[in-house]
Amino acid sequence: MSKEIREKTVKELAEDLKNKRLTAEEITQAYIDAIEAQDGTLNAYLTKTTEDALKKAREFDQQDKVPDNILEAIPYALKDNIVTENIRTTAASKILENFIPPYNATVYEKLDNQGGILLGKLNMDEFAMGSSTENSAFENTKNPWDITRVPGGSSGGSAVAVASGMAPFALGSDTGGSIRQPAAYTGLVGVKPTYGLVSRYGLIAFASSLDQIGTFTHTVEDAAIVLDAIAGHDKKDSTSFNAPKKDYSAKLNESLEGVKIAVSKDFLGEGLQREIRDSYEEALKIYQDLGAEIVEVDFSLLDSALAAYYMIASAEASSNLARYDGVRYGVRADDYNGLVDMYVKTRTAGFGDEVKRRIMLGTYALSSGYYDAYYKKAMQVRTLVIDEYNKIFDQADVLLTPTTATTAFKFGERLDNPLDMYLSDLYTIPANIGGLPALSMPGGFDDNGLPIGLQLTGPALSEPELFKIANAYQKVTGYENQRAKSV
């Protein structure tokens, strides 16, 4: 039986379009149908642009041409912290509930210029703070593998849109794991590129030294295709690399002979779910069979990286979120008595609990008298984490770890205890601290049938090697071919 349209990969859709087996309208309509059938239950989308999407698809078909590039006429969706001109962008916050951006994020501009078809904007934790998407001011996004469970976060909407066939690919942002962790929970490939590889212009800032835009796809091959479309220097983002782009698909099918894979017991401690450990060990065997060499390394700073992250991320967030003052953006409180009262009432009503917690923590850590003890200390730890990575990559090409210690948890399970929630990102945070590329790939299923994720981290700008190593595993296991049942 042939695959349904919405089960196809980006690569397959592009080939069907090119060979005229499918029209752009048929493809776009299939995703719109999937959204109509499922999103009432799953709540991945905050804003749909499906009418414009159909229009753009029909325009493409009328031209009766071969696509100019691989993403032309392919639908996709964006996390709702990526600004889109004239399309509501909320960062899942009340304070931006009716915000219509006057400009485009560079990544959107690039996809749009390449002919991609935007289906809509996706739910997330408010301002990308969280690990379950439960911090959205608007709705709970459900995991299509088990709707009593969270999809992970903060890019939960992006993960669910792709995992449930409501978009063939999506973009998200990853400050401490927000692409890789939800990708792991929903059985997808999630890529956080090297810091600076993809422009952050038009990404609503959370923690600017950690934030990075990346991809959600079913396959590694698709991740390489989408990264190719969004990476590259942008003069509008001063932290963007000014170096020629690599060919991200170039090494996909190269042999793993001689590749060195680092493993560390520090990621296999208490709290790691049994099935995830099993799948990790199975992966090591697969890699050895493929000709890779396993190298044992230390990652002694895992816990310290988590602590440093919550200092640095909160400090930067407190500064970035100062701009929501009821004057320049979004919502303003109705009744107030003078300027200060207006600020207080606007921010009290506009921000959710987690965002307030971060602003308080960050402001405290940056205040005089505490700066040296907290923020400066955290920055010193950051340097040590980078040193630790450098040592690892002197001995090995990549580091293989689980993406998360558990599979998707139930709604409410970690909401009352912020520290539990913060621990959800223990394994993903260090890559952001180091600015390194990391991806999560489907690594099988637990006893409840929930997806498991395995993570590969590499040195800066090693995306082609990461894709090669991940793709080799996909070709052996085929886990990426399993789809969540429709709801």
Q: Which residues are catalytic?
A: 79, 154, 178
Q: Give the nearest distance from C-beta 395 to ligand GLN in angstroms.
A: 28
Choose one: 20-28, 58-66, 101-109, 175-183; the region binding ligand GLN (CB under 6 A): 175-183
Q: Is the dihedral of CA 184, 203, 380, 192 positive or negative?
A: positive
Which helix (H) or strand (E) segment is 120 a member of? strand 117-122
Q: Which of residues 358-397 bind ligand GLN (CB under 6 A)?
A: none
CB of 136 to ligand GLN, least distance (A): 13
Query: Counting contacts by CB under 6 A, is residue 193 touching ligand GLN?
Result: no
Task: Candidates 109, 275, 425, 465: give the one binding ligand GLN (CB under 6 A).
Answer: 425
Nearer residue to ligand GLN within complex by CB, 17 or 426: 426
Taking the least distance from each CB to ligand GLN, the nearer of 421 and 466 is 421
396 DSSP 8-state letter: -
Side chain identity, residue 433: I
Nearer to ligand GLN, 47 or 154 (CB): 154
Q: What token pair was written down for 110?
A: 């690039």
Tell me the backbone φ, ψ of residue 192, rounded to 5 degrees: -105, 105
90 touches ligand GLN (CB under 6 A): no
- How long is the chain? 487
Within positions 208 to 237, which residues make up the interface with ligand GLN, using CB under 6 A?
A: none
Taking the C-alpha atoms of residue 307 and residue 312, their distance in angstroms, rounded to an integer, is: 9
| Amino acid letter, 246 | K
The verdict on 154 binding ligand GLN (CB under 6 A) reads: yes
The position carrying tokens 């580091």 is 399
Nearer to ligand GLN, 425 or 480 (CB): 425
Shortest gap between Cβ of 2 and ligand GLN (angstroms)? Answer: 37
Residue 57 as a binder of ligand GLN (CB under 6 A): the answer is no
CB 141 within 8 A of CB 178: no
Whole-number Cα distances in Å, 60 to 53, 76, 78, 222:
11, 16, 21, 22
- According to DSSP, residue 485 is labeled P
User: By CB under 6 A, is residue 126 in contact with ligand GLN?
Assistant: no
* Count of residues engaged in binding ligand GLN, rule: CB under 6 A: 13
Q: How far apart are CA 72 and CA 173, in angstroms?
A: 23
For the CB of residue 297, give the shortest distance to ligand GLN in the complex, in Å.
24
- Site membership for ligand GLN, residue 178 (CB under 6 A): yes
How far is 173 from 222, CA to CA, in rounded Å?
17
Distance CA 246, CA 462 (A): 9
**Binder among 128, 170, 226, 331 for ligand GLN (CB under 6 A):** 128
First CA to last CA across the chain, in angstroms? 21
Least separation in angstroms between residue 210's CB and ligand GLN is 8
Tell me if residue 38 falls in helix, strand or coil: helix
177 sits near ligand GLN (criterion: CB under 6 A):
yes
Give yes or no for residue 174 binding ligand GLN (CB under 6 A). Answer: yes
Give the range of 70-78, 170-178, 229-237, 381-389 binding ligand GLN by CB under 6 A: 170-178
Of residues 307-336, those binding ligand GLN (CB under 6 A): 313
**Could you tell me which stretch among 44-52, 99-107, 123-131, 224-232 binds ligand GLN (CB under 6 A)?**
123-131
Q: Detail the DSSP E strand segments found in 291-351.
A: 293-296
Query: Residue 294 Cβ, how far from ligand GLN at the closest point, in Å?
Result: 29
> Measuring CA to CA, which residue among 21, 12, 225, 32 is closest to residue 117?
32
Neighbours of 300 (CB within 10 A): 12
Among 43, 84, 123, 131, binds ligand GLN (CB under 6 A): 131
User: In which element (H, E) is residue 445 found?
Assistant: strand 438-445
25 contacts 58 by C-beta, under 8 angstroms: yes
Instruction: Output 24 or 91, the one with its CB closest to ligand GLN.
Output: 91
172 close to 182: Cβ distance less than 8 angstroms: yes
Residue 206 or 409: which CB sits closer to ligand GLN?
A: 206
3-state secondary structure 11-31: HHHHHHHHCCCCCHHHHHHHH
**Identity of the residue, 93 or 178, whose beta carbon is nearer to ligand GLN in the bound complex:** 178
Least distance in Å: CB of 160 to ligand GLN? 16
- Angstrom distance (rounded) from CA 108 to CA 200: 11
Supply the minimum distance, in Å, between the C-beta of residue 147 and ligand GLN: 22
130 binds ligand GLN (CB under 6 A): yes
Span of 122-130, 341-349, 386-394, 407-415 interacting with ligand GLN by CB under 6 A: 122-130
State the residue number with the nearest CB to ligand GLN. Answer: 178
Residues within the interface to ligand GLN (CB under 6 A) = 128-131, 154, 174-178, 206, 313, 425
